[in-house]
Structure 1
Amino acid sequence: MKLKSVDHIYHIHRDSRVKRWFFIFIGLCFIVLLLPWTQNIKARGTVSTLYQGQRPQQLNSPIPGRILKWYVKNGDYVKKGDTLLQLAEVKEDYLDPLLVERTQQQVQAKIGVRDYYQAKVGTTNSQLNALNASRVLKLTQLKVKIGQLNNKLAAEEAELAAANNELKLSEDQYNRQKKMYDDGLVSLTQFQQRSVSFQNVLAKKTVIENKLAQTRQEIRTVNIEQDAAIQDYAEKVSKTEGERFQNLGQIEGSNGDIAKLQNQIANYKARQGLYFVLASQDGQVVSLNKAGIGEILKDTESIGTIVPNKVKYAVEIYIKPVDLPLIKEGQNVMCIFDGFPAIIFSGWPNSSYGTFKGKVVAVESNISSNGLFKALVIEDSADRPWPPQIKMGTGVQGIAILNDVPVWYELWRNINGFPPDYYTVKTSKSDEKTK
């Protein structure tokens, strides 16, 4: 007896379709193996920026001081140059409220001293000119006197020569007269007259020789006087020049003191401008670590942090050393920011949702402290912009795009442990022209 319920429950006489579904499944698997697969490298990182001026800036106290007043609180937005807080002096060297005015008075006093020494230098210059003129006059007088004595000496030498000639002639006459007297040819009176004449000529010669010796002595005396005058004026000029150089040294010392005091005045004025701590850039004030009024700040002590408003964001991702050869400048990276929902198909990046495209601009050659290499990624201007809600330090997952290969090749590569294929960056003609 044939029961219909048995046929409906057990399907004994029904045709099996397992074989058909098996071949369909095999066909689908074959088709999937032929589908394209984009190789990639996954890396973690954080949001940052390429420019140091756009990073969070630490606010430091430029001078040690006591807090008088706060003008901001945590979370306030400020513009560049806005006052953050006011400080008061705590060092005893700067407590005088009239410090700058009194230092300026010291400068004026030093300027007066310098002017006094400059006047003394002018006086010593006049003295030097007077001494030089007096020396020239004195030496000229002595030279004229020496010239006169030389002329007198020449005349006396000529007179001596004439006296010698006359003496020689008188001596010859005396000798002849004496011989004639001895022969009895002349009288004694005549011989005595000739003898007196000879003696007179001899005395005249002696007088002329004495005058000549006196003139020579006068010349030597005048020469000695000339040397003494030169020595005397040299001593006077040296002494005056010594005073002049001493005054010049005092002037230079005064100039140095004036420059030092003026430098102190400039430092005092600059220090007074540091009593108000100003914002270094537009941004938000965060992490203020001083609680109230009257707290003492040390030199360069941290007050807080200012986060810039306008930032050109970049992403810092960290690459394993084994994957470093696969990362090149200009390579595409898909960024997934923390807090933004995303549906990821790692092998089909174009089908993913919630990812933002970027490009590698630099790969650091030095390994970081975490044992990884840092790569910098910026926004791809040709794709949609990154979300404006991201902030500094936001976590990022980066997917570096490599070559497109079939699925079967990717499975075969992973089974054999081979590395991904190298990625060749293709630059557009416009980029080449820009370079």
Structure 2
Amino acid sequence: MLNISENISHYSKSLRKYQNVQNLENRPHYKILNRIITTVSILAVVALFLPWTQNISSTGAVTTLKPNQRPQSIQSVISGRIERWYVQEGDFVKKGDTILFISEIKEDYLDPNLVTNTQNQVTAKKQALTSYTNKVNTVSVQIQAIENEKKLKLEQANNKIKQSLLKIKSDSMDLEAIKTQVKIANTQFNRSVQLNKEGLKPVTDVEEKRLKLQEVDAKIITQENKYLTSKNEYINSKVEINRIGAEYSEKVSKAQSDQFTALSNQFDTEAQVNKLENQYANYSIRNGLYYIKAAQNGYINRALQAGIGETIKEGTPIVTIMPSEYDVAVETFVNPVDLPLIKKGEKIRVWFDGWPTIVFSGWPEMSYGTFGGEIVAIENFISENGKFRVLIAPDPTQDKWPKQLSIGSGAQTIALLNTVPVWFEIWRILNGFPPDYYKTKSKLSKNNKEKK
């Protein structure tokens, strides 16, 4: 009311002349109420300037730090039929302990002596391989013997050629000697004829010289025949060398052909041996897969398959096991708007369901029952719930987390940011701004200087 009307002012003044109105103004509880209102208002104004720690709150669950420490399912590598259980739910098993035994259901592996028969096949093929190897070695020795014999035959033929050349030379010299004898005999015959005409030599001497000339002429024909025979022997020796080379080349080619055939059989047998050894190893390993064993120490949580005689396929989960040794961590989720504020290595406060806790999000130093954590991983892809997954490990500089924590139990986290006045936090929430997201130019320039 602006109290402009004079009538109203006059009316209010007229009320004060009454004793009851004066008594109402002088009552003490109204003064106390006014003081309380005044005090509360002053405290509220003062509280607006109190420090408030900005934070990002989220919920999550207890998990393990390493993937191999998380609950896992044990699967069957091969298909089979359940024959016997060795454990029950809640049992503790060590690495390598038998959990389940299954029997074979595929017709290719039903033979109980499959491994032994395969081993016998491998042994037989190895013996065949040894035989082919020995044959290859024998043929190699045979080829070497043929080569040695060829070498000796060629040496013999070369010697024969040399003998033929020497004989040709000898016959040639004999032929020249006989030709000389012919000239001498002819000269003597002519001289005898001349002397006979002059009466100096008798006719018998002339006849004797004629007979000797005829003998020498006969010898030259014989010697020429021997000379030509020697030449033919030389030519035949050369032909013999060619024949020896062709004959022994054929023998070597035939032996090499046998050797290559043996080598081909050897290589084929080696391939069959490798294939059979591979099958033998596969069958031996498959026999070991009938016993499904624990991959690590842990507790049997739940049997996913039940009964005796039930058939399972390869890759079918059979039981779930919880490792007995694990490093505890907390898996939480943050909103996309808060993701830029979360960094790896940042400190986090954590409290767990079932653990006595008193939490003041704006005044963490006044909280009770919270534990220190440190961000070790931030998922770069959004999860199905529309948030980003963050993994938190215990802070080694803070108190240890409770040993009574169970994997999967609930947890809540607070990421502590900057400390601001209460009025600023109220203003930020009313305007829908994220905490500590906008930075002043002075801070940015300071950070840049520190980086330089």
Query: TM-score range, shorter-chain basis?
Result: 0.7 to 0.9
Instruction: State the SS of the aligned residue for 2:380.
Output: strand
Alignment of 1:45 with 2:60, yes or no, is yes
Change (3 A) 1:85 1:7: farther
Q: Work out which of the residue numbers 88, 91, 116 in structure 1 matches 2:106.
A: 91
Q: Work out which of the residue numbers 322, 347, 354 in structure 2 matches 1:307.
A: 322
Conserved? CA contact 2:133–2:266, under 8 Å: yes
Give 2:347's aligned residue: 332
Distance in 2 (CA, whole Å) between partners of 1:61 and 1:268 is: 16
Q: What amino acid is the match of 2:54? A: Q
Give 1:427's aligned residue: none
Q: Map 1:18-167 to 2 at 5 A.
A: 18-167=33-182
Q: What amino acid is the match of 2:352? A: F
Instruction: State the SS of the aligned residue for 2:89.
Output: coil
Deviation at residue 40 of structure 1 after TM alignment? 0.4
Instruction: State the SS of the aligned residue for 1:360.
Output: strand
Q: What amino acid is the match of 1:214? A: T
Alignment of 1:216 with 2:231, yes or no, is yes
Distance in 2 (CA, whole Å) between partners of 1:57 and 1:307 is: 7
Give 1:255's aligned residue: 270
Q: Percent identity?
A: 43
Conserved? CA contact 1:113–1:254, under 8 Å: yes
Conserved? CA contact 2:304–2:320, under 8 Å: no
Q: What amino acid is the match of 1:217? A: N
Instruction: State the SS of the aligned residue for 1:316.
Output: strand
Deviations 1:82-112 (A, max 9, x none): 2211111111222222222222222222233
Give 1:279's aligned residue: 294
Conserved? CA contact 1:314–1:376, under 8 Å: yes
Q: What amino acid is the match of 1:69? A: R
Deviations 1:36-91 (A, max 9, x none): 21100122323222211101111101211110011222333322222211111111
Distance in 1 (CA, whole Å) between partners of 2:56 and 2:197 is: 157
Distance in 1 (CA, whole Å) between partners of 2:229 and 2:107 is: 84
Conserved? CA contact 1:58–1:305, under 8 Å: yes
Alignment of 1:350 with 2:370, yes or no, is no
Q: What amino acid is the match of 2:372? A: K
Q: Work out which of the residue numbers 284, 287, 306 in structure 2 matches 1:291.
A: 306
TM-align CA RMSD: 3.3
Instruction: State the SS of the aligned residue for 1:97.
Output: coil
Alignment of 1:241 with 2:256, yes or no, is yes
Deviation at residue 329 of structure 1 after TM alignment? 1.8
Alignment of 1:420 with 2:443, yes or no, is no
Instruction: State the SS of the aligned residue for 1:366.
Output: coil
TM-score normalised by length of structure 2 = 0.82
Deviations 1:340-382 (A, max 9, x none): 4533311012222333321111223333344322221111233
Deviation at residue 148 of structure 1 after TM alignment? 1.6
Q: What amino acid is the match of 1:132? A: E
Q: What amino acid is the match of 2:270? A: N
Deviation at residue 196 of structure 1 after TM alignment? 5.3
Conserved? CA contact 1:45–1:397, under 8 Å: yes
Change (3 A) 1:15 1:351: closer
Instruction: State the SS of the aligned residue for 2:31.
Output: coil
Give 2:219's aligned residue: 204
Alignment of 1:363 with 2:371, yes or no, is no
Change (3 A) 1:207 1:272: same
Conserved? CA contact 1:289–1:304, under 8 Å: yes
**Unpaired runs of 5+ in structure 2?**
1-18, 440-452
Change (3 A) 1:171 1:33: farther
Instruction: State the SS of the aligned residue for 2:325.
Output: coil
Give 2:4's aligned residue: none
Deviations 1:261-315 (A, max 9, x none): 2332222222221111111122222232222100001112111211112221111
**Unpaired runs of 5+ in structure 1?**
425-435
Q: Which range moves more in the overlay, 39-48 or 334-343? A: 334-343
Conserved? CA contact 1:403–1:421, under 8 Å: yes
Change (3 A) 1:22 1:169: same
Q: What amino acid is the match of 2:73? A: Q
Give 2:281's aligned residue: 266
Distance in 2 (CA, whole Å) between partners of 1:218 and 1:232 is: 20
Give 1:433's aligned residue: none
Distance in 2 (CA, whole Å) between partners of 1:13 and 1:314 is: 61
Distance in 2 (CA, whole Å) between partners of 1:224 and 1:57 is: 87
Change (3 A) 1:112 1:417: closer
Change (3 A) 1:166 1:367: farther
Q: Map 1:339-418 to 2 at 5 A.
A: 339-418=354-433
Give 1:428's aligned residue: none
Distance in 2 (CA, whole Å) between partners of 1:62 and 1:419 is: 51
Instruction: State the SS of the aligned residue for 1:280.
Output: coil
Conserved? CA contact 1:403–1:423, under 8 Å: no
Conserved? CA contact 1:403–1:422, under 8 Å: no
Conserved? CA contact 2:65–2:326, under 8 Å: no
Instruction: State the SS of the aligned residue for 1:367.
Output: coil
Deviations 1:323-344 (A, max 9, x none): 1121112212122333445333
